[in-house]
Structure 1
């Protein structure tokens, strides 16, 4: 089980926050915490509320991670498919998938969707 190096941890947070600013204005910030090979991603709303969104599994590549969606109904993470049909993809794809669900914007799952 490889664990992400410090440089990957830093760049992951930067990439997700940059993408959130472009595509998800309802989020004030994206917060990432690490445990072993996993990165847990939460969205912080402007009022301070924190939404658990998804978990990424590092497998040695900073650009392709395994994806697990947070299930509020079970308070856990379930390995899931991205809209592309893959179980792994970019962190930005994972953010779009989870925010499409939790911020109620299914256009995030459509190909070539213009950003807001």
Structure 2
């Protein structure tokens, strides 16, 4: 019988994000979004829960001019307003005690959950800005 051995998993565990770095992290993400993705979103929302940081975007919805309110049961204006207030989940970061070393899970709408993924640098770890860049595919038209 093979011995059991401990293996580090970048998609498990982590440390609770200290309250002291939450505003700094939020500012970093919002500044990065404003500098690199201006006009692609209406608002970016950064939330924290335990060891996780969630990044969502609110975008301007596309509703065609020939929208049929009788088919959808709401006016075109009501649908636009409802969709403007519906977030697009971008990614979830996991904190390990270093402000520049996070693991990331990309939100997949096909499975309706966060899926572990590597950063564009080929590593399981990266910065919050790199995570935003990787998940900004949902902001592209």
Q: Provide the TM-score with structure 1 as the length reference.
A: 0.82
CA contact (8 A) 1:17 1:29 kept: no
What's the counterpart of residue 50 of structure 2? 36
CA contact (8 A) 1:37 1:58 kept: yes
* Runs of 4+ off more than 3 Å: 46-49
Q: Which has the higher strand share?
A: 1
What's the counterpart of residue 84 of structure 1? 121
Give structure 2 stretches of 5+ with no counterpart: 1-13, 61-83
Which one has a bigger Cα radius of gyration?
2
SS in 2 for 1:73: coil
Q: Which has the bigger relative contact order, CA under 8 A and spacing at least 6?
A: 2
Give structure 1 stretches of 5+ with no counterpart: 106-116
The alignment yields a C-alpha RMSD, in angstroms, of 1.5
What's the counterpart of residue 98 of structure 1? 135
Alignment length, in residue pairs? 104
